[in-house]
Each structure stands twice: as C-alpha cells, then as structure tokens.
Amino acid sequence: MPPQPGRARLADIAGQAGVSEATVSRVLNDRPGVRADTRQSVLTALDVLGYERPERLRKRSAGLVGLVVPELENPVFPKFAQTIESALAQQGFTPVLCTQTAGGVTEDEYVEMLLDRQVAGVIFVSGLHADTAADHDRYRKLVDRPLPIVLINGYVEDLDAPFVSCDEVLAGRLAVAHLVALGHTRIGLVNGPERFQPVRRRLAGYRAEIAAHGLAEHVELSLFGVEGGQAATQRLLDRGVTGVACGSDLMALGAIRAIHARGLSVPGDVSVVGYDDSPLMAFTDPPLTTVRQQITAMSHAAVRALVDEINGQPAPHSEYVFRPELVVRASTGVAPRVTTTGR
C-alpha cells in the first residue's frame, strides 16, 4: 500500500532528506528560500520513498528555454543568439528569444513572461547581471525557485549560478600590446559606462598594459554604439593619440568616423582596434583589427551548463572564462612620426 499523505508523510520525507518538515513543505509547495542542493535532496527523498512528485515539480513544459539578449543592433548579439539557439535545438530544446529595445519590454517583464510559459531554464546574455548598479536579487529569486539559469558576460560574485565570460582583462591588454608593438606611445581607450563589469575589467587590462610600458593613460568613457565611439574619439584626438582601443566593434566604427571627419586616415594617422569580431568586420573600410570573443565556444558552454542543470546534474557554479584572440586586419599600422593633434 502506497504511503499516505499527512504529517507522517512530511516526517518521513524530512527524515530521509535530513531536513526539517518546514523545508519539505516549502519544497512541495515550490516556494523560494531553499538551496538548490537541499531542494534536490527533498525531491530525491520523495522518489526513494515512493511518493509521486507534485505536478508543479515535474519536468517543465515543452522543453522551452528562454534566451534574453539586450538588443540586436550590435551584430555580436544576433551572433550569440543564433549560436545558442542552434545548440539548444540540437539538445531538443526550443529557444524563446527575448530582445530588448529602448522603451520596450524590460528584462524583468520578459522573465515574467517566460515563467508564465513554464520554461525549463533561461540564458542571459549581457543582461542586468553585467550592471554593477542593478539589483541582482532578481537572479537569486530565480535560482531559489529553483529555475536553472546561465549568465554570459557579467559576473556576480555571490550568485550561485554558472557564468560564461570572455577574459576582458586580457582583451584590454592584447589591444594595447598590439599598438605598442607598432610603435604607438599615445594610446587611448574608448569604452562604455564604467558601471558595467566587463568595462571595468577591460579598463583594468588597458591600464595594466599601459603601465607595463611606462605610458600615460588616455581614457574616454561614453555610451556604447557608433555615436558614443565617435564622440569619445573626438576627445582623444584632441589629446594627440595615435592609437585607439575600443570596447566594441561598433564603437570602433564610430572612432573611424571621427578620425575621417578630422581629415585623417586609418591607419596612416591613427590606428583603431575593435572588440568582439562581429560579423562583417572583415569587410569594413578599412577591414577592422579587433579582439575576438570566442562566441561559438562560449555559447556551447552556456548551453551545456544549462542542459546539465535542467537534467538534475548541476554544473559547477563558477565563472568559465574564455581567452580572446587578436585578429589583425588593416585598421592598425605603424605609428606616424608626427602627432595628429590639430590636424
């Protein structure tokens, strides 16, 4: 005869799992505030004792996985989305793509929609987890549900989830080292707002490499995008830089626009290094030297970690850091013999 419900049932499950009856009750009612490993112990105890799991705790519906990206204007994000969607499909999951636009649906609103659809997990690419000024409790609440999540490019130290990142510090160093090797001594950094953790890391790499060569810093932070890159580069040109390392390929295109607006050439007068190696950067004028994120490897790692979490085999909750690669094209060259100031 199968075990009967009631207090004895809670006591049996609690004893088997080594937790309190209150904890068992929270798990059975799918309440937050229970650690993922504790929750799994209670579910295992249910199985061992022959109890049927409540409907709400069974495998989530339809194999749906949420994919939240900030926007699609920067070509690096469609590349992430395409690669992740393909990898999820190969694992039998159906991706639900959520993209944000200015004044449109927010990340939190998308998450509520995904929860309503009972997704099996969510992958976040460069989301609010990358913003040090944002409240990261939104992710802790998801982990506590528990809902498997993986976060790309943006590390939160006290969040118990898998993270996948590019080595932004090394990216900053690679760009500077390349320009130094070409003879540049006045090297500027163009990047986004400093509240974003990847920006902070890239800034740290830039500063470390600049200091290693005994050079002066020239940093201009601006908005992400072509316009931000153009405005920041205009200020750097006033300071006489001959090399510009940028926080994204779009910012690098803005830098090139600013240089051309001064009647200067790239790379004859000023060299420019981008970041991401977005699609089509090999076909710009001039083709862009950039630091490449390992998008394919990072995307597959994120999907593997999420699928393991969904299947009850939690991936190590730590940061997986992927090494970037310098891709040399025609936007960088030997430093000019004269300063560009005033030209």
**Stated pTM of the model:** 0.81
Q: What is the spatial distance between Cα 88 and Cα 306, in angstroms, rounded to a whole number?
A: 9
Tell me the DSSP string of 210-236. HHHTTPPPEEEE--SSHHHHHHHHHHH
Query: What mean pLDDT do residues 113-121 have?
Result: 93
Q: pLDDT band for position 271 (50/70/90)?
A: very high
pLDDT above 70 covers a percentage of the chain that reads 93
CB atoms under 10 Å from CB of 89, counted, come to 14
Q: How far apart are CA 164 and CA 305, in angstroms?
A: 9
Mean pLDDT of 41-64: 71
What per-residue confidence (pLDDT) applies to 30? Answer: 75
CA dihedral over 73, 77, 319, 291, signed as positive or negative: negative
pLDDT at 6 over 50: no
CA distances from 141 to 24, 35, 135, 144 (A): 18, 11, 11, 5
Q: Phi-psi region for residue 79, left (φ > 0), alpha (ψ -120 to 50) or beta?
A: alpha
pLDDT tens for residues 13-39? 888 889 998 998 888 887 777 776 787
Closest to 120 (Cα-Cα) out of 288, 259, 312: 312
Q: Please report the DSSP string for 67-100 in residue order.
A: EEES-SSSTHHHHHHHHHHHHHHHTT-EEEEEE-
Q: How confident is the model at residue 2 (pLDDT cuts 50, 70, 90)?
A: very low
